[in-house]
Structure 1
Amino acid sequence: MNLPEGIQSRPLTLDDAAEMAVLVAAKAQADRDGENFSAEDLAEELRRPGLDLERDTISLWDGDRLVGYGLARVSQTVVDVDRVQTDGAVHPDRRGRGLGTELVQWLIKRAGELHTATHPEAPGVVGAGAVVTNTGATELLTGFGFEPVRYYFDMHRPLDQPVPDVAVADGLRLVTFDPAYTKELLDAHNESFSDHWGFTPRSLEAFQARVVNSRAFRGGQSYYVLDGDTIATYVNCFEYEAVAEATGVRELYVGQVGTRRAYRGRGLARAALAKVLAEAAQAGYQRAGLGVDADNPTGALGLYEKLGFTTHQKFVNYQLAIADGVVHS
Structure 2
Amino acid sequence: MNLPDGLTCRPLEMSDAHAMYELFAAAEVADTGEVAIEPEDIAGDWQRPSFDLAQESIGVFEGSMLVAAAEVYKARRAEATVHPDHRGRGIGTWVARWVEDCSRRRGGTLVGQTVPVGSSAERLYQSLGHRTGWKSWVLVVPEGARIEPQPLPRGYTVRDLVTGEDKHAAFQLVEDAFSEWPDRQPTAFGDWAARTVLRPGFEPWQIRFAVDPGGTRVGVAFTIVAEGCGYVDQLAVRADHRGRGLARALLVDAFEQAREHGATRSELSTDSRTGALPLYEHVGMRVTKSYQHWMTDV
**TM-score w.r.t. length of structure 2:** 0.92
CA distance in 1, matches of 2:191, 2:54: 20
Structure 1 residue aligned with 2:284: 308
CA distance in 2, matches of 1:219, 1:133: 38
Structure 2 residue aligned with 1:270: 248
CA distance in 2, matches of 1:162, 1:315: 25
**Is 1:319–2:295 an aligned residue pair?**
yes
Residue 158 of structure 1 deviates from its aligned partner by 4.0
CA distance in 2, matches of 1:192, 1:281: 27
Q: How does 1:1-329 map to 2 (within 5 A)?
A: 1-32=1-32, 34-74=34-74, 84-115=76-107, 124-134=109-119, 136-158=120-142, 160-180=144-164, 181-215=166-200, 217-227=202-212, 228-239=214-225, 241=226, 244=227, 250-297=228-275, 300-321=276-297, 327=298
CA distance in 1, matches of 2:54, 2:253: 44
Percentage of identical aligned residues = 28
**TM-score w.r.t. length of structure 1:** 0.84
Contact 2:41-2:195 within 8 A present in 1 as well: no
* Contiguous gaps of at least 5 residues in structure 2: none
CA distance in 2, matches of 1:93, 1:170: 57
* Contiguous gaps of at least 5 residues in structure 1: 76-83, 117-123, 245-249, 322-326
Residue 40 of structure 1 deviates from its aligned partner by 4.5
- Change beyond 3 A, Cα 1:159–1:22: same
Residue 315 of structure 1 deviates from its aligned partner by 0.6
CA distance in 2, matches of 1:50, 1:219: 25
Aligned CA-pair RMSD: 1.9
- Change beyond 3 A, Cα 1:223–1:184: same
Amino acid at match of 2:145: Q
